[in-house]
Amino acid sequence: MCLAIPGKLTNIYQKDNLRMAKIDFGGIVKEICLAYIPEAKIGDYALIHVGFAISLMDEEEAQETLKLLQEVSNFEAELNE
């Protein structure tokens, strides 16, 4: 199973001839590649899979997805108690 996580683009720059970005996953910031969504801009939300932004999404959809992922994480933690 593959999982993609939404995050908010906070910085965009060039690195080794690639368009890159810093993306915030609710407090955790990672570097990702924007090769697949060159239209992305700072403040956009994107779906990230293995270090690549694969699509843009609106903020409401991103927040709902993050909320559902948190609920799954909380449920898993309860099961392991």
Q: Which residues pair with 67 in a beta bridge?
A: none
Percent of the chain with pLDDT over 90: 68
In which band, very low, low, confident or very high, does the pLDDT at 3 lie, cut at 50, 70 and 90?
confident
How far is Cα of residue 72 from the mean position of the Cα atoms in its chain? Answer: 17
Give this prediction's pTM: 0.83
Q: Which residues contact 1 (CB under 8 A, 6 or more apart)?
A: none
Assigned CATH class of 5-79: mainly beta
Residues 11-50 have pLDDT tens digits of: 999 999 999 999 998 889 999 999 999 999 999 999 999 9
Instruction: Report the 10 Å Cβ neighbour count for 23.
Output: 26
